[in-house]
Amino acid sequence: MQFDNRYATLSPKLFHKQAVESLPKPKAGHFNHALAEQLQWTEAEQADWVNIINGTNLPNEADPLAMVYAGHQFGQWAGQLGDGRGLLIGQALDQNQKLTDLHLKGIGLTPYSRMGDGRAVLRSVIREYLAGHALHHLHVPSSNALGFIYSHELQIRREQFEPSAILLRTSDSHIRLGHFEWINQYQPDLLQEFAQHCLENYYPDCLNAESPILAMAKQVIDRTAYMIAGWQLVGFAHGVMNTDNLNITGSTLDFGPYGFMERFRPNWINNHSDNQGRYTYQNQPSIAHWNLWVWLNNLIPLANTELANAQDKEQFKADLATCLEDFEPAFLNYYRSGLAKKMGLPQDDDRCFDCGMAFLRILQAEQLDYTSSFRRLTDHAYTALRDDCIDTRAFDDCLSIYQAIRKDADQNSLQLNMQQHNPIYILRNHMAQRAIELAEKDDLSEVERLFTLLSNPFEKQAEIERAEDLAPLPSDQPEVMVSCSS
């Protein structure tokens, strides 16, 4: 690996350096060799991945540190937070010289652990490992993971005692919106230095703008809108969209009580800790907007700096608010474009979006599976779709409009769009649960199968698929729900 630890050059008030608390008698979980190749891991490093993840043989250039940040959790100010069980072990350059964070999760106590034990359990690590991999191959911006290890020797108490685990995840950045909240609240003198760091390392094209901060804000807003549209299009619910769980580069971070929606229910709550339904699937765009509003408010003190180039504070505040107005149209543009591709409709037809929304209303009313229904549409399995409907008239009306829109369009390009945007496979909760239960018995075969399946979600893989991969659990079986406990 080629390290370039730029975050470690910032003020030491922003982090705490410490060693990894290794797991006793670690077992190999799974390793993403393809990602390791992209990050220029040597053959020796790949062969020794268990010890690297366990912290017993980190590369000499590694410089582990726990980040401090703050955040709003479920809409309420939570004060100081931080990496309570994670360490940024370094930043590496990939094959394209792009900076990538290497972050260990489950490494023991840090100064920011609060009431936690600093550990992660095998269950949550497998879920995060597979989720990042799944989103990556669904073309949704996301953190990913290189691999995980686990140990039966160290049992961690959650609802029950569970095997401990450590995950090595990657992301283009672990700088969260909540980093700015912490600095503005506790170390405001560091705000300009930190903003400069973000500009130089993540938005260098903004440095020459008249107002670099405004230019960066616009790009963060646009990237976040793109990510959220991606979530909505693949039916992904994050589950806990606190301001400390969103980063400044618009890539999915922190897979806790997430889920991929099965039966289409816009008000679906995957996180059983979310009693008020704040983070339902349908609320994700508005929550992202709110989180960005919080973040932008923490940029206001930069008004009188060279990074803002504002005439006065009130004008700068108004300019930031204007930036935020771009979020909704950006999100809708990305979502409309993606929905047209999923539907196989020409984007320049004004009827396209209405037809797509009509199809979604049918899925909701009939409680049909989101992913498999779009795939049936892709395969022109209209009879099978109709047979699943009680209100066949609504389906027939929608299909009639749909076919009329498609009639004179380029069928080949529309079909290709559908095949590239409607996956056959998603990570259903019950699929992940089966992999977890087997892994806890030292059988990693299901983790390997799902890793392979999710590596190519748009192509049929009959030789390794199971019937359960293609549909939700029967209606007489309870859904698998998850909580923030991990």
4 classed as catalytic: no
Q: Are 99 and 172 in contact (CB under 8 A)?
A: yes
Q: Are 343 and 233 in contact (CB under 8 A)?
A: no
Residue 177 confidence (pLDDT): 99
The encoded tokens of residue 479 equal 């859904």
Would the annotation count 169 as a binding residue?
yes
**How many angstroms separate the CA atoms of 242 and 256, rounded?**
12
Distances (CA, A) of 41 to 38, 90, 389, 443: 8, 14, 51, 27
**How many angstroms separate the CA atoms of 151 and 27, rounded?**
6
Would the annotation count 391 as a binding residue?
no
Q: Counting beta carbons within 10 angstroms of the beta carbon of residue 407, is it exposed (0 to 12), middle (13 to 18) or buried (19 or more)? A: exposed
Q: How many CB atoms lie within 10 A of CB 325?
A: 10
Task: Give the 3-state secondary structure of residue 429.
Answer: helix
Residue 329 confidence (pLDDT): 98
The encoded tokens of residue 402 equal 């749909």
Would the annotation count 245 as a binding residue?
yes
Q: How many CB atoms lie within 10 A of CB 339?
A: 23
Would the annotation count 54 as a binding residue?
no
Would the annotation count 254 as a binding residue?
yes
**Measured at the alpha carbon of residue 295, what is the angle toward residues 214 and 146, in degrees to the nearest 5?**
100
**How many angstroms separate the CA atoms of 360 and 368, rounded?**
9
Would the annotation count 117 as a binding residue?
yes
| Active-site residue, selected from the candidate residues 63, 83, 101, 244 | 244
Tell me the torsion sign for CA atoms 443, 445, 447, 450.
negative
Would the annotation count 48 as a binding residue?
no
* pLDDT tens, residue order, the chain (486 aa): 899 999 999 999 999 999 999 999 999 999 999 999 999 999 999 999 999 999 999 999 999 999 999 999 999 999 999 999 999 999 999 989 999 999 999 999 999 999 889 999 999 999 999 999 999 999 999 999 999 999 999 999 988 999 999 999 999 999 999 999 999 999 999 999 999 999 999 999 999 999 999 999 999 999 999 999 999 999 999 999 999 999 999 999 999 999 999 999 999 988 888 888 999 999 999 999 999 999 999 999 999 898 988 778 999 999 999 999 999 999 999 999 999 999 999 988 889 999 999 999 999 999 999 999 999 999 999 999 999 999 999 999 999 999 999 998 899 999 999 999 999 999 999 999 999 999 999 999 999 999 999 999 999 999 999 999 998 777 777 666 676 665
The encoded tokens of residue 219 equal 């790009």
The residue ranges of every structural domain in the chain are 7-171, 333-421
Answering whether pTM is above 0.85, one says yes
- 480 φ, ψ (degrees, to nearest 5): -80, 120
Would the annotation count 6 as a binding residue?
no
**How many angstroms separate the CA atoms of 238 and 288, rounded?**
11
Would the annotation count 239 as a binding residue?
no
**How many angstroms separate the CA atoms of 479 and 260, rounded?**
12
Residue 465 confidence (pLDDT): 96
Residue whose C-alpha is closest to residue 89's, from 104, 78, 100: 104
In the block, residue with structure tokens 């984007």: 347
Residue 97 confidence (pLDDT): 92
